[in-house]
Structures are given as structure tokens and as C-alpha cells.
């Protein structure tokens, strides 16, 4: 067919391409359906705690499939929890401070601290099926993904400009309308960029959770995490490199098929009064927009959307415009009191059990834990400072320069999504060969688990700075110092604080792998709380594990009250973008 003919070009454009796109979308839908069926069949089978792991390259596709399913389910749970938790904290001043403090503590507790209670609880809840073990692992991956998403959504809600809230109130938006038409769009950019880091955190936790020892019980599930761990333990470099390449291939495919389209889609929610000339583009997103199958749900929802919103606008709550500072009593105060009483009872019972368990800790063990707490605290803060020193300028450059962003963003996304724990065996082998130890080397390993949180939040913050403000700074000929102090740092400040807080949690999580690891027939370790947590998990010393977790919580709460809470308050007041 001669494609130079106008009719031929029209046929190819209007019929052939949409048809091929629809076929591709349908094929993806069928693949997802059969994946769910296969996963359900496996989960409902008899429990097999220890599955033999083959080092054959032909086994990698099946292992990759199981790992992707676990991460995908954990991410969906994380997104639902993050939005619900962040929304509740932002709109309930009575419990806001407590919820933020709890979130700050939980995101800093290493994954292995959650491991014994979560796995044992899930196995007990679903006895006789593989689902119990799988759900335990998925919830552990959930703990490696959820916290930065919750922080991102919470900080976005708190930084919505006042005039936008007033407009929603004047137009009598219902809570549902305000959520979908104001709050979610405003938080979209931060959620997308933090999702990239969350999935990277999921890979980080996956490699630790698919194969672990808990006292006298062993758990080993089929997946890339188990494959990489067994390859490292046996010194099989060929299998290690093959598994590492498969992880990179999955990360690159995820970046091009998922993250790039989402970044391009979220760019339309950028808060600005003058449309930017530089738009983020994604060929995959453009193809999906041409698909009739992909667009059909949107058309169906549009036909129902307006009647639903019109019905909501007619409710009594929406007929009256309430001031934003209205402190009317909540109708659900009785429910909150009941929930508080139940929580106090549970906490009281847990505290009693904890005291009985902690009584078994000896003084030498306590002294070693305190020394480890000081060492890990210094490493965590050193990793934060080093990370911020390079990620802030680089993130601003990527967010401001579209040409650089087209090159640097995919590279940064791929590097961030490759789990840091996949690098650990290679780095450890290098450290052993050059005669280095984990004392200083652990800081390098922590950087792999911290720097991306700050980088991607800074990129999101730089991209969210309105184009008209950047043009004003150019018109008034701001010098470099004025540009950074008057525009860039105030503009990215809320995002930077979110990145620093979540990076702190990433550093504490990375300490478990950075300070203690098995390599062939050797155990490498250095003094630190991470090493104590890993050792206690290996040997089933739950009192040590509990006390180490309490020490981490105390340090995190102290930092939260002295540093992070004040900086969050500053971001909500002084550096809030509004007219």
C-alpha cells in the first residue's frame, strides 16, 4: 500500500493503529487475568515454607512473575493505606500530631523488626494454605513501600493553597468532589514520584523477605529475592549476574510502560497560571489514549459522574458555605473515643508483655545495644547529609531543565528502582577483596537506600514550581543566590522535608543489611543496631529484637519532636504556595 496517498494514511491512522492498540490492551488484560488465576491456584494450595531454589536461568521467568505479583499487591495496599492515613491525619487536628509521630516511627523501623509477628500472625490466620505465608511476605513488602507515600500525600494536603480551598467551599464541593477534583490532583505529582521510590523500597524488602530464618524455622519462597540470596550464599557469580540483569530488565520495562506515562499524565496537574511551553511526553501514554478499550471506562464514568455530583451538591452539608477555620464539633467524636479506649487497652496489654520479655535482656546485651544505637545513629545522619549534598542540586537541575530531564529522568528512575540489596552482594565482595570492613562501607551501602527518596522528592518539588514564578525571576534578573534563596529552596522545601524524613527511614532499614550479612561461609558485621536486629532474627532472640526496635523508636521520636515536626510546621506556614 502506498502510504503517501492521503486515504492510505487516513486508514492507517484512524483504523489500523487503534485496532492494534486495542488488541495490545486486550492481550494485557488477558495476561493479568490468567496471572491472577495462576496466583490464586498457587496460594490456595498446601503450605510449603521451604521451596527449593534452582540456579538455572530457565527458572528466572517464573521467579520474576512471583516477585512482581507480590510487589504489585503490596503497592496497591500501600497506596490505599497512604491516601486513607494521610487524609485522616490532615483533617483531624486532635489526632494529627499522634498520627504523624506514629508514621515517623513506623517508617524508621527496619523490615526485619516486623518480620516475626507479621509472618506468624498471617500463618496462624490462614492455616493449611500457602496464602498465609504469601500474605506475610506481602505485608512485609508493604512496610517497605507505604511510609513515604503516606508522608507525600499528607504533606500535599497540608500545602494546598488557601484560595483553592476557598474556591472549593464557595462552589459547595462535597467531600467526594473535593477529594477527586482538588486534593488528589494536587497530590498527584508527589504521589507518582514517590511511587517510583516506593516500588524500589518494595524490591529492597522483597530480597530480604522471600528467604529468611526465624529462630528454628526457615522460610524460602520462589522469587528473585530467594534466587539472589541463594546465589550470593553459594558464590555462584553466573546466577547472581543473571538474576541482577533480570531485575534491571523488569525495572526498565516498568519505567517505560508505567512510570513514564504516569509522569506525563500527572504533569497536567501542575499548579500554575501560565501554561508551560515544555511538557513531559510519553509515547506509551499517547498510544493508550488512542485505544477505544482503554477509553471506554472513562466514557462510562463520565455519563454517571455529573448526576452523582449534582446529587451530592443538593445535600444539606453542601448547601451552606462554611468558613475554612470553622471548628464545629465532629459527629464521630463518640466513635473516636471508643477507638481511643480500645487502643489504650491493646497498648496496655502489649506493654505488659513487652516488659516481661525485656526482663530477659542482660546488662552486657543492653550495653552492646546502646553502643550500636550511637554508631547507627551517626551512620544514618552521615548518609542523609551526603545524600542531600548531591541530590538537591541534581534534582533541581532535572526538574528545571526539560532537555536534561529527558536524559536523566529515565536513568535516575532505573537506578532508583533497582533494589539496593541487589547491589549489596557485589559491593560486599569488593569490600572483602580490598580488605575493607563494614564500619565505613556500611555508610556507602546506606546511601543506596536513602538518596533516591530525597532526589525524587526534590525533582517533584522543582517540577511543581509554577512556570510564571520562574519567568518572574528571570524578568527581574535574579542572580544565582537570589534564585536559590527566593525561589528554589522555598519552592521545594515541603518536598525536601518529606524526602529527608522518608530517607531517614530508608537509612534505618538499610542498616540491617549494611551492618550484618552472610557471604559464602563468612558472616560480615560491624557494631550497630542493624547488626543486632539481624543477629537476633537469625538466632530467635526476640527480647533483643524488641529492645533494638524500641531504641530506634525513641531516637526517631526525639528527632521528630526536635527537628522534623518544626520543619513540617514551617513548610505549612511560611513556604506554602498561595496568593
Task: Render 180-207 in DSSP notation, one character per residue.
Answer: IIIIHHHHHHHHHHHHHHHHHHHHHHHH
* 324 in any annotated domain: no
Position 326 in a domain: no
Residue 28 is part of which domain span? Answer: 11-43
In a domain, 360, yes or no: yes
According to the per-residue pLDDT averaged within each range, which of 80-89, 148-157, 322-331, 438-447 is highest?
80-89
29 & 89 share domain: no
Do residues 34 and 128 share a domain? no
Question: 494 pLDDT exceeds 80?
Answer: yes
Give the confidence band of 13 by pLDDT, cuts at 50, 70, 90.
Answer: very low
CA distances from 144 to 139, 230, 406, 483, 535 (A): 9, 22, 28, 36, 20
Lowest-pLDDT range, 307-316, 336-345, 352-361?
Answer: 307-316
> What is the SS3 assignment for 332?
coil
Spatial contact of 255 and 417, defined as CB atoms under 8 Å apart: yes
pLDDT tens per residue across span 451-480: 888 888 898 888 878 777 888 888 888 888
Grid cell of 188 as nine digits: 498527584
Q: What is the pLDDT of residue 80?
A: 93
Q: Please give the share of the chain, as a percent, with pLDDT higher than 90.
A: 3
Tell me, yes or no, whether 22 and 80 share the same domain.
no
| Residue 5 within any structural domain of the chain | no
- Residue 486 has what DSSP assignment? I
Tell me what the pLDDT averaged over the chain comes to: 76
In a domain, 318, yes or no: no
Question: Dihedral, CA atoms, 459, 461, 463, 467, nearest 10 degrees?
Answer: -150
224: in domain: yes
Which cell numbers hold the place of 420? 539496593
Domain presence at residue 329: no
pLDDT band at 83 (very low <50, low <70, confident <90, very high): very high
Closest CA to 380 of 445, 458, 452: 445
**Whether residue 75 is found in the same domain as residue 27:** no
Kindly report the pTM of this predicted structure: 0.70
Asked if 269 and 94 count as a contact pair (C-beta separation under 8 A), the reply is no
Give 370-402 pLDDT, tens digit per residue: 888 888 899 888 989 999 999 999 989 888 887
* Nearest Cα residue to 372 out of 438, 450, 445: 438
User: So what's the pLDDT on residue 330?
Assistant: 47
Domain count for the chain, please give it.
2
The answer to whether 87 and 155 are in contact (CB under 8 A) is: no
Do residues 187 and 157 touch, judged by C-beta distance below 8 A?
yes
C-alpha distances (whole Å) from 551 to each of 167, 289, 557 are: 46, 51, 10
Backbone angles phi, psi at 131, to 5 degrees: -60, -35
pLDDT at 9: 44
- Going from the C-alpha of 537 to that of each of 136, 177, 215, 549, 568, the distances in angstroms are 16, 47, 7, 12, 35
> Do residue 456 and residue 535 come from a single domain?
yes
Q: In this structure, are 338 and 472 located in the same domain?
A: yes
What tens digit of pLDDT does each residue of 102-140 get?
887 777 676 666 666 677 677 667 776 777 778 888 888
Q: Is the pLDDT of residue 209 over 60?
A: yes
| Residue 325 pLDDT > 60 | no
Contacts of 371 (CB under 8 A, 6+ apart): 527
- Is residue 520 scored above 70 in pLDDT? no
pLDDT band at 81 (very low <50, low <70, confident <90, very high): very high
Amino acid at each position: 500500500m502506498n502510504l503517501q496517498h492521503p486515504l492510505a494514511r487516513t486508514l492507517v491512522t484512524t483504523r489500523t493503529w487503534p485496532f492494534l492498540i486495542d488488541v495490545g490492551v486486550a492481550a494485557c488484560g488477558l495476561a493479568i487475568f490468567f496471572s491472577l488465576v495462576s496466583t490464586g491456584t498457587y496460594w490456595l494450595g498446601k503450605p510449603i515454607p521451604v521451596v527449593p531454589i534452582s540456579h538455572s536461568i530457565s527458572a528466572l521467568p517464573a521467579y520474576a512473575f512471583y516477585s512482581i505479583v507480590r510487589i504489585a499487591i503490596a503497592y496497591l495496599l500501600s497506596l490505599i493505606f497512604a491516601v486513607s492515613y494521610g487524609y485522616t491525619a490532615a483533617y483531624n487536628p486532635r489526632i494529627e500530631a499522634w498520627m504523624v509521630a506514629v508514621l515517623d516511627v513506623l517508617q524508621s523501623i527496619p523490615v526485619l523488626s516486623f518480620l516475626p509477628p507479621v509472618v506468624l500472625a498471617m500463618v496462624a490466620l490462614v492455616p493449611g494454605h500457602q496464602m498465609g505465608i504469601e500474605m506475610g511476605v506481602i505485608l512485609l513488602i508493604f512496610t517497605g513501600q507505604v511510609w513515604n507515600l503516606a508522608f507525600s500525600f499528607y504533606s500535599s494536603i497540608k500545602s494546598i493553597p488557601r484560595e483553592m480551598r476557598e474556591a472549593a467551599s464557595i462552589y459547595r464541593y462535597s467531600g467526594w468532589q473535593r477529594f477527586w477534583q482538588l486534593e488528589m490532583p494536587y497530590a498527584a505529582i508527589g504521589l507518582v514520584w514517590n511511587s517510583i521510590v516506593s516500588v524500589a523500597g518494595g524490591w529492597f524488602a522483597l530480597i530480604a523477605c522471600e528467604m529468611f530464618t526465624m529462630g528454628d524455622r526457615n522460610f524460602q519462597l520462589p522469587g528473585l529475592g530467594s534466587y539472589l540470596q541463594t546465589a550470593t550464599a553459594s558464590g555462584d557469580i553466573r546466577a547472581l549476574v543473571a538474576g541482577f540483569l533480570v531485575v534491571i530488565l523488569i525495572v526498565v520495562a516498568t519505567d517505560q510502560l508505567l512510570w513514564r506515562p504516569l509522569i506525563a499524565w500527572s504533569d497536567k496537574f501542575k499548579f500554575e497560571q501560565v501554561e508551560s511551553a515544555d511538557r513531559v511526553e510519553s509515547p506509551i501514554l499517547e498510544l493508550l489514549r488512542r485505544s477505544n478499550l482503554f477509553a471506554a471506562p472513562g466514557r462510562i464514568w463520565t455519563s454517571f459522574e455529573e448526576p452523582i455530583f449534582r446529587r451530592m451538591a443538593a445535600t444539606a452539608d453542601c448547601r451552606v458555605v462554611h468558613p475554612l477555620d470553622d471548628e464545629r464539633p465532629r459527629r464521630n467524636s463518640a466513635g473516636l473515643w471508643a477507638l481511643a479506649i480500645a487502643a489504650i487497652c491493646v497498648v496496655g496489654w502489649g506493654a505488659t508483655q513487652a516488659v516481661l520479655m525485656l526482663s530477659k535482656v542482660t546488662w552486657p546485651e543492653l550495653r552492646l545495644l546502646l553502643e550500636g544505637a550511637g554508631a547507627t545513629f551517626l551512620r544514618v545522619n552521615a548518609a542523609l547529609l551526603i545524600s542531600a549534598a548531591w541530590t538537591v542540586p541534581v534534582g533541581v537541575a532535572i526538574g528545571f531543565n526539560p532537555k536534561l530531564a529527558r536524559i536523566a529522568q529515565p536513568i535516575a528512575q532505573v537506578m532508583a528502582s533497582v533494589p539496593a540489596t541487589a547491589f549489596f552482594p557485589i559491593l560486599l565482595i569488593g569490600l572483602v577483596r580490598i580488605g575493607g570492613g563494614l564500619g565505613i562501607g556500611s555508610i556507602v551501602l546506606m546511601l543506596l537506600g536513602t538518596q533516591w527518596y530525597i532526589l525524587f522528592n526534590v525533582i517533584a518539588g522543582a517540577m511543581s514550581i509554577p512556570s510564571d514564578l520562574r519567568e518572574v525571576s528571570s524578568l527581574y534578573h535574579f542572580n544565582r543566590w537570589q534564585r536559590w534563596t527566593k525561589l528554589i529552596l522555598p519552592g521545594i522545601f515541603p518536598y525536601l522535608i518529606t524526602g529527608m524524613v522518608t530517607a531517614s527511614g530508608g537509612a534505618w532499614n538499610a542498616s540491617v543489611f549494611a551492618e550484618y550479612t552472610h557471604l559464602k561461609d563468612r558472616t560480615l558485621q560491624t557494631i550497630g543496631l542493624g547488626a543486632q536486629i539481624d543477629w537476633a532474627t537469625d538466632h530467635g532472640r526476640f527480647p533483643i529484637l524488641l529492645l533494638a526496635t524500641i531504641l530506634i523508636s525513641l531516637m526517631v521520636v526525639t528527632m521528630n519532636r526536635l527537628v522534623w515536626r518544626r520543619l513540617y510546621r514551617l513548610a505549612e506556614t511560611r513556604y506554602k504556595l498561595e496568593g
